[in-house]
């Protein structure tokens, strides 16, 4: 009786163990995207972990050992590259064992076997296995029967003594293989199914150092083979979508370069860990989101031990439904999912031992129904995730958008916003649908809500085109009128300046103001007359400073949406300090320095000359700010160019003004100008030091008073 009870308890314990590991209670994950500032915006769960599949449930005779890759075929059969056991495991769609591929008889009739297979790819008829340590691709039919060996490709384009180590591959509709070799640095290897080399595509800008390349030329084959595992891998995984675009990932780019590329919000994939190539090898990934697809963008996230985690370590990519795609951040055990335009749809995952958590994510793959599977190489199992209602609506919205069912897409995106009002992709989706329906005014509102400037520009282009067609005769008339008015004004100002130069006597305030229009076009004569003929004054200088302050502040508050989509601007006090502090630092520093180096200009002369030199800033800033309210995205470069001309014009006038005012040669004025910049830095340092000292003294006295008051 006692033995029966013990046996029954043992059976119950085993059943509970299997139940907890195989069909555990589902666990949802808090998903999130990133704001424009890089802060996490949390949303409803997109996926739920429903199963953790280990070897006992699969029906394997032994546990997985260093699993490397996970793929599914069109029938949802699962293929696992079990590298440590030198085999490829095949499961059915219910995750039950079908067969494994370990040994076979090769083309020459000799018994053969796999050795550390790291990658697998399956078409409708063929299983391709990257037999890494055997330096080859081995093919089998869908029943696991050997077909042929695709040998190492040969080409003079390979580095001398290079080692071919295939770790991942995909095959296109024409039977061409795209192979990732862990020790090949020229890019993805493209070859025919008989091993004939075609080309390299997608070569990285970041490669092994020149020293390593040089040293490898003198290594023996054995040394190269031994050192292969210590050389950073250019690419580590690859996938292909239904349109033939190839996604590739890498973790070999230095963290500093990845960090810089993310912070710069670059549109180029040169230093980012995931790229999309067309079949010609051109990098064509769209990066229209707030941040380029690269996983983590908030680098101050900490791990459980409190250490900084840095940028993501991307080790795999998987193509999902409706042109979505996901990457694995192995460092954080997270999945980041993007749409075809590079917008982050959601991210989720965590490290740990609970259901759905992982210790070392190795691979991710989608099944035909959208179910997500992740392979954990440390736990030697994979976890199955099911989409939630929120995830289903999101995919349905993308499907309607891709199928040009824009009215339905608007309904779906609206449902998304009811559940997640911070989801920028939904605002963009509604904006895109409205734009394609010709509702440009309404589209602008949604684009503005998501800070999507490209879409806003396209919608506004249509609105502006319609507006121009209505006033097609008025616009040229206004332009001609303005040009004629400007011409007549400069002609009148030149006439006034010519009269003032010959009239003698005291200059009127108006003549002092108008003289600036002579000075900015004739700087050497202008600055000479400004100093020696007294053509300018301090009161006119103050006017020009006020005009500059107005222009800069107007630029802050009056720029168009495309220039300032966030609507941020500085206060008039901050704007004034931003102009006045550099100006007066320059004047003070130049006066102090030139006093020691035989400069002939007084403090007043320097002040007047610098103030008159500011006018080009206003002449360019005010018109470009007005124009920015009707400009398109591609026209912003013109605005930046004109503002750059105004800034350069201003600096050049100040330089010439100092040369004429102090009667310096070109070389001496150049050296003095550099010295002035150094003096400005020194004065700022002294001012900051003095301010800090005064603050400490005030704090010290305040603490003493508080302490005395407390004691009394």
pLDDT tens figures, 554-590: 999 999 999 988 888 888 888 889 999 999 999 999 9
Q: How far apart are CA 384 and CA 232, in angstroms?
A: 31
Average pLDDT over residues 208-228: 59
| Selected residue with higher pLDDT from 443 and 12 | 443
State whether 448 and 554 are in the same domain.
no
Average pLDDT value for the chain: 86
Indicate whether 154 and 237 sit together in one domain.
yes
Average pLDDT over residues 226-239: 65
Mean pLDDT of 182-201: 89
Q: Is residue 208 part of a domain?
A: yes
In this structure, the answer to whether residues 525 and 466 fall within a common structural domain is: no
CATH of the domain at 257: 2.120.10.30
SS3 138: strand
Give the residue numbers spanning the domain of 569.
508-674
The residues, any chain, with a CB within 8 Å of residue 510's CB and separated by 6 or more, are 496
Q: Is residue 697 part of a domain?
A: no
* pLDDT-derived band at 613, boundaries 50, 70, 90: very high
Give yes or no: residues 464 and 377 share one domain.
no
Query: What is the chain's alpha carbon radius of gyration, rounded to the nearest angstrom?
Result: 35
Which percentage of the chain shows pLDDT scores above 70?
Answer: 90
Do 247 and 325 form a contact (C-beta atoms < 8 A)?
A: yes
Domain count, the chain: 3
223 and 143, same domain (yes or no): yes
More confident residue, 186 or 147: 147
- Residue 497 falls within a domain, yes or no? no
What pLDDT is recorded for position 622? 94
Cβ–Cβ under 8 Å, residues 610 and 594: no
Domain shared by 342 and 415, yes or no: no
Instruction: With cut-offs at 50, 70 and 90, classify the pLDDT of residue 361.
Output: confident
pLDDT of residue 17: 44
Query: pLDDT-based confidence at 187, cuts 50/70/90?
Result: confident
Same domain, 517 and 613: yes
179 touches 189 (CB < 8 A):
yes
Q: Which ranges constitute the DSSP H helices of 233-386?
A: 255-263
Residue 256 is predicted with a pLDDT of 85
Residue 398's pLDDT is 94
For 683-696, what is the mean pLDDT?
A: 88
**pLDDT given for residue 703 in this prediction:** 86
In this prediction, residues 334-360 reach a mean pLDDT of 84
Residue 8 lies in a domain: no
Whose tokens are 């026209």? That residue is 635
Of residues 352 and 39, more confidence is placed in 39
Mean pLDDT, residues 421-435? 92
**pLDDT for 155:** 86
Is 149 found in the same domain as 133? Answer: yes
- pTM confidence score: 0.78
The helix/strand/coil state of 404 is coil
Residue 477 within any structural domain of the chain: no
* DSSP class of 229: G
Q: How many CB atoms lie within 10 A of CB 569?
A: 15
Residue 480 resides in a domain: no
Same domain for 224 and 162?
A: yes
Q: Quick one: average pLDDT of 212-224? A: 62
pLDDT digits 0-9 by tens, 451-492: 899 899 999 999 999 998 888 888 889 889 999 999 999 999
- 437/454 same-domain check: yes
Q: Report the pLDDT value the prediction gives residue 675, as an integer from 0 to 100.
A: 92
351: helix, coil or strand? strand
pLDDT over 90, % of the chain: 54
Average pLDDT (531-536) is 88
Q: What is the pLDDT of residue 302?
A: 47
Q: Which long-range contacts (CB under 8 A, 24 or more apart) does 704-710 make?
A: none
Same domain, 381 and 308: yes
Establish if 26 belongs to a structural domain. no
Q: Helices (DSSP H) in 354-473: which residue ranges?
A: 389-402, 406-419, 424-436, 440-449, 453-470
- DSSP string across 148-167: EEE-----TTSPTT----EE
What are 116-153's pLDDT values in tens digits?
999 999 999 999 999 999 999 999 999 999 999 999 99
Asked whether the predicted pLDDT for residue 222 surpasses 70, the reply is no
pLDDT over 60 (residue 274): yes
Same domain, 124 and 142: yes
Helices (H), 473-534: 474-503, 509-514, 516-519, 523-532
Domain harbouring 441, CATH code: 1.25.40.10
What distance in Å separates the CA atoms of residue 495 and residue 498, rounded to the nearest whole number? 5
Report yes or no on 694 lying in a domain.
Answer: no
pLDDT of residue 308: 52
């Amino acid at each position: 009786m006692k033995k029966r009870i013990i046996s029954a308890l043992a059976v119950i314990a085993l059943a509970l163990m299997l139940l907890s590991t195989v069909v555990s209670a589902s666990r949802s994950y808090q998903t999130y995207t990133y704001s424009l500032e890089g802060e996490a915006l949390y949303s409803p769960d997109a996926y739920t972990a429903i199963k953790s599949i280990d070897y006992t449930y699969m029906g394997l005779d032994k546990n997985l050992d260093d699993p490397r890759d996970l793929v599914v075929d069109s029938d949802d059969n699962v293929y696992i590259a079990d590298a440590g056991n030198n085999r490829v495991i095949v499961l059915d769609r219910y995750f039950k064992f079908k067969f494994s591929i370990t040994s076979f008889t090769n083309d020459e009739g000799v018994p053969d076997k796999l050795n550390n297979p790291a990658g697998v790819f399956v078409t409708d008829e063929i299983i391709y296995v990257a037999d890494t340590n055997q330096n080859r691709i081995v093919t089998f039919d869908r029943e696991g029967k050997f077909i042929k060996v695709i040998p190492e490709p040969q080409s003079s384009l390979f580095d001398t003594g290079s080692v071919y180590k295939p770790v991942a591959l995909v095959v296109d509709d024409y039977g061409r293989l795209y192979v990732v070799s862990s020790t090949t640095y020229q890019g993805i290897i493209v070859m025919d199914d008989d091993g004939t080399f075609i080309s390299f595509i997608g070569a990285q800008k970041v490669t092994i150092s020149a020293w390593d390349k040089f040293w490898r030329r003198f290594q023996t084959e054995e040394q190269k083979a031994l050192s292969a595992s210590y050389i950073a891998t250019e690419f580590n995984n690859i996938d292909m979508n239904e349109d033939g675009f190839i996604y590739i990932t890498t973790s070999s780019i230095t963290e500093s370069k990845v960090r810089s590329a993310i912070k710069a919000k670059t549109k180029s994939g040169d230093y980012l860990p995931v790229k999309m190539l067309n079949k010609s090898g051109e990098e064509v990934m769209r990066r229209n989101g707030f941040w380029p697809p690269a996983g983590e963008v908030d680098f101050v996230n900490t791990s459980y031990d409190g250490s900084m985690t840095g940028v993501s370590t991307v080790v795999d990519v998987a193509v999902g439904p409706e042109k979505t795609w996901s990457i694995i951040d192995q460092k954080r055990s997270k999945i980041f999912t993007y749409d075809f335009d590079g917008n982050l749809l959601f991210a989720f995952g965590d490290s740990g031992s609970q259901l759905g958590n992982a210790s070392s994510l190795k691979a991710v793959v989608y099944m035909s129904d959208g179910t997500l599977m992740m392979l954990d190489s440390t736990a030697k199992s994979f976890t199955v995730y099911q989409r939630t209602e929120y995830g289903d609506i999101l995919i349905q919205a993308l499907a309607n958008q891709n199928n040009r069912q824009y009215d339905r897409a608007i309904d779906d995106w609206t449902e998304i916003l009811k559940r997640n009002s911070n989801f920028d992709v939904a605002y963009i989706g509604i904006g895109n649908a409205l734009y394609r329906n010709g509702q440009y005014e309404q589209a602008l509102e949604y684009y503005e809500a998501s800070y999507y400037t490209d879409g806003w520009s396209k919608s506004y282009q249509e609105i502006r085109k319609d507006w121009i067609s209505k006033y097609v005769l008025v616009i040229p008339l206004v332009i001609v009128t303005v040009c004629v008015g400007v011409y007549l004004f400069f002609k009148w100002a030149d006439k006034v300046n010519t009269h003032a130069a010959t009239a003698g006597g005291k200059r009127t305030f108006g003549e002092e103001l108008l003289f600036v229009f002579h000075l900015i076009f004739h700087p050497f004569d202008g600055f000479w007359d400004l100093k020696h003929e007294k053509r300018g004054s301090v009161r006119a200088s103050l006017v020009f400073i006020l005009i500059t302050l107005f222009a800069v502040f107007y630029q802050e508050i009056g720029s168009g949406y495309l220039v300032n989509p966030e609507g941020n601007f500085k206060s008039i006090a901050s704007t004034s300090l931003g102009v006045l502090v550099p100006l007066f630092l320059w004047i003070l520093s130049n006066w102090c320095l030139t006093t020691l180096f035989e400069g002939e200009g007084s403090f007043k002369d320097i002040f007047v000359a610098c103030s008159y030199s500011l006018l080009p800033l206003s002449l360019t800033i005010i018109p470009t700010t007005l124009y920015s309210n009707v400009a398109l995205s591609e026209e912003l470069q013109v605005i930046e160019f004109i503002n750059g001309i105004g800034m350069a014009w201003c600096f050049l006038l100040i330089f010439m003004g100092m040369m004429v005012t102090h009667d310096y040669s070109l070389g001496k004025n150049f050296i003095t100008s550099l010295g002035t910049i150094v003096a400005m830095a020194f004065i700022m340092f002294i001012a900051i030091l003095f301010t800090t000292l005064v603050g400490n003294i005030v704090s010290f006295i305040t603490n003493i008073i508080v302490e005395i008051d407390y004691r009394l």
